[in-house]
Structure 1
Amino acid sequence: MSNADQKTARQTTATAYWTVGPEQGELRCEALPAPGIGEALVRTLYSGISKGTELVVHNARVPDCVAGEMAAPNQEGSFPSPVKFGYLSVGIVEEGPADWAGKTVFCLYPHQNRYIVPVDSLTLVPDGVPARRAVLTGTVETAVNGLWEAGPRLGDRVAVIGAGLVGGMVAKLLSTFPLGRLQLIDVDPAKRAFAETLGVVFSHPDDALPDCDIVIHCSASQEGLERSLQLVGDEGDVIEMSWYADRSVTLPLGEDFHARRLSIRASQVGVVARARRHRRTNADRLRLAVSLLSDPLFEVFLTGSSGFDELPDVVQRLSDGTLDALCHVIEYPVIECPALDAPATADPRC
Structure 2
Amino acid sequence: MEARDAGSARALWIVGPGAVEIRDTPLRAGPGEVELATRFSGISRGTEALVLRGGVPEGERARMRAPLQEGEFPWPVKYGYAAVGRILSGAAAGRDAFVLAPHQDRLAVPGAMVLPLPAGVPAGRAVLASNMETALNVVWDGGAAPGDRIAVIGAGVVGALAAWLCGRMPGAAVTLIDLLPGRAALAAALGVGFALPEDAPEGCDLVIHASASAAGLATALAAAGEEARVVEASWYGDRAVTLGLGGGFHSRRLQLVSSQVGMVPAGRRARWPLRRRLEAALRLLADPALDALISGETDFGDLPARYGAILDDPGTLCHRIAYR
- TM-score, structure 2 as length reference: 0.95
**In 2, distance between residues paired with 1:31 and 1:289?**
31
Counterpart residue identity of residue 77, structure 2: V
Q: Is residue 70 from structure 1 mapped to residue 64 from structure 2 by the alignment?
A: yes
1:180 to partner: Cα distance = 3.9
Q: Judge conservation of contact 1:55–1:315 (CA < 8 Å) in 2.
A: no
The correspondence of residues 317-332 of structure 1 with structure 2, limited to 5 A, is 317-321=309-313, 324-332=315-323
1:101 to partner: Cα distance = 1.8
Q: Which residue of 2 aligns with 1:103?
A: 95
**In 1, distance between residues paired with 2:316 and 2:66?**
22
1:82 to partner: Cα distance = 0.4
Q: Judge conservation of contact 1:47–1:135 (CA < 8 Å) in 2.
A: yes
The correspondence of residues 1-350 of structure 1 with structure 2, limited to 5 A, is 12-33=7-28, 35-95=29-89, 97-98=90-91, 100-321=92-313, 324-333=315-324
Q: Judge conservation of contact 1:146–1:273 (CA < 8 Å) in 2.
A: no
User: 10-19 or 47-56, which moves further after superposition?
Assistant: 10-19
Counterpart residue identity of residue 144, structure 1: L
User: 187-196 or 14-23, which moves further after superposition?
Assistant: 187-196
1:273 to partner: Cα distance = 3.2
User: 274-283 or 14-23, which moves further after superposition?
Assistant: 274-283
**In 1, distance between residues paired with 2:41 and 2:275?**
19
Identity over aligned pairs, percent = 46
Q: Judge conservation of contact 1:43–1:114 (CA < 8 Å) in 2.
A: yes
- Unaligned 5+ segments in structure 2 are none
**In 1, distance between residues paired with 2:131 and 2:65?**
16
Query: Residue deviations 1:213-260, cap 9 Å, x none?
Result: 110001111011011111111211101111111111111112221222
| 2:252 aligned counterpart, secondary structure | coil
1:161 to partner: Cα distance = 0.5
Count of residues paired in the alignment? 320
| 2:38 aligned counterpart, secondary structure | strand
| 1:259 aligned counterpart, secondary structure | coil
Counterpart residue identity of residue 19, structure 2: Q
Q: Judge conservation of contact 2:145–2:172 (CA < 8 Å) in 1.
A: no
1:11 to partner: Cα distance = 6.6
User: 12-21 or 176-185, which moves further after superposition?
Assistant: 176-185
| 2:75 aligned counterpart, secondary structure | coil
Runs of 4+ aligned structure 1 residues displaced above 3 Å come to none
**In 1, distance between residues paired with 2:105 and 2:140?**
34
Q: Judge conservation of contact 1:14–1:113 (CA < 8 Å) in 2.
A: yes
1:164 to partner: Cα distance = 1.5
Q: Judge conservation of contact 1:153–1:179 (CA < 8 Å) in 2.
A: no
**In 1, distance between residues paired with 2:302 and 2:125?**
20
Q: Judge conservation of contact 1:149–1:274 (CA < 8 Å) in 2.
A: no
Rg bigger for which structure? 1
Over aligned residues, Cα RMSD in angstroms? Answer: 1.4
1:123 to partner: Cα distance = 1.1
- Unaligned 5+ segments in structure 1 are 1-9, 334-350
**In 1, distance between residues paired with 2:240 and 2:14?**
24
1:139 to partner: Cα distance = 0.9
Q: Judge conservation of contact 2:166–2:172 (CA < 8 Å) in 1.
A: no
Structure 1 residues 80, 121: closer, same or farther in 2, change over 3 A?
Answer: same
- TM-score, structure 1 as length reference: 0.88
**In 2, distance between residues paired with 1:127 and 1:248?**
44
| 2:257 aligned counterpart, secondary structure | strand
**In 1, distance between residues paired with 2:183 and 2:79?**
29
Q: Judge conservation of contact 1:77–1:83 (CA < 8 Å) in 2.
A: yes
